Amino acid sequence: MIEITSANIEKAINKARQTKPFVKVIEFRLYSVTNKTTGATYEVKFTKINNTKYAECNCKATVICYHIGASIGAHIVLAEQMHTATA
């Protein structure tokens, strides 16, 4: 599990913009990210503990990777929708 910071997530989002992987929602906080070129699919999971956000991906990277960068966009939209739904 890696802590998400504004610096590391920005890098990951930029990388995701170049790679443009396909993101599928498995459930809230769980996403499947597929590299359209290689077909490799990885699972990304988001966790929030005491207002600190964490993410993990089952790829080889030990940093906030572009899979996390790609899925956080979908995650933010879903989180907002859920917030609106419960408000």
- Contact residues toward Zn ion (CB under 5 A) are 42, 57, 59, 61, 65, 67
Task: Report the residue number, 7 or 87, with the smaller CB distance to Zn ion.
Answer: 7
Task: Report the residue number, 59 or 78, with the smaller CB distance to Zn ion.
Answer: 59
Q: How far is the CB of 69 from Zn ion (least distance, A)?
A: 9
Task: Report the residue number, 15 or 79, with the smaller CB distance to Zn ion.
Answer: 15
State the DSSP code for 65.
Answer: -
Contacts of 28 by beta carbon, 8 Å cutoff, 6+ apart: 78, 79, 82
Kindly tell me the burial class for residue 9, based on how many C-beta atoms sit within 10 Å of its own C-beta (0-12, 13-18, 19 or more): middle
